[in-house]
Structure 1
Amino acid sequence: MQIPKPSDADKDRFRAVVPENPDVVVKPMFGNLGAFVNGNMFAGLFGPMIGVKLSDADREALEASHQTLPFGPEGRAMGGYVGLPEALSDTDEQTAEWVEKAFEYVATLPPKVAKPRSAKK
Structure 2
Amino acid sequence: MREETLKVYDALIAANPNFERKGKTMPYTSANGYMFSQVNKAGELGIRLSKADTEEFDAKYGAEPFLSYGSKMREYVLIPKELLADKETLEYFLQKGYEHVMSLPPK
Offset of 1:68 from its aligned partner? 2.8
- Alpha-carbon displacement from aligned partner over 1:51-83 (angstroms, at most 9, x marks no partner): 111111110011011123221248521111111
Q: How far apart, CA to CA, are the structure 1 residues paired with 2:12 and 2:20?
A: 13
- The amino acid that maps onto 1:38 is N
Task: State which structure, 1 or 2, has the greater radius of gyration over its C-alpha atoms.
Answer: 1
Which of 47, 50, 53 is equivalent to 1:52? 47
- Percent sequence identity is 28
Higher mean C-alpha displacement, 75-84 vs 32-41: 75-84
* Partner-residue secondary structure (3-state), 2:11: helix
Q: Which runs of 5+ in 1 are unaligned?
A: 113-121
* Partner-residue secondary structure (3-state), 2:29: strand
Is residue 2:38 matched to residue 1:38?
no
Would you say the 8 A contact 2:21–2:28 is kept in 1?
yes
Q: How far apart, CA to CA, are the structure 1 residues paired with 2:69 and 2:32?
A: 28
Q: Point out the structure with the larger helix share.
A: 2
- TM-score, length basis structure 1: 0.74
Q: Which runs of 5+ in 2 are unaligned?
A: none
| Consecutive aligned runs of 4 or more in structure 1 exceeding 6 Å deviation | none
- TM-score, length basis structure 2: 0.82
- The amino acid that maps onto 1:92 is K
Q: CA RMSD in A?
A: 2.2
Q: Match for residue 90 of structure 2?
A: 95
Offset of 1:34 from its aligned partner? 0.7
* Partner-residue secondary structure (3-state), 1:89: helix
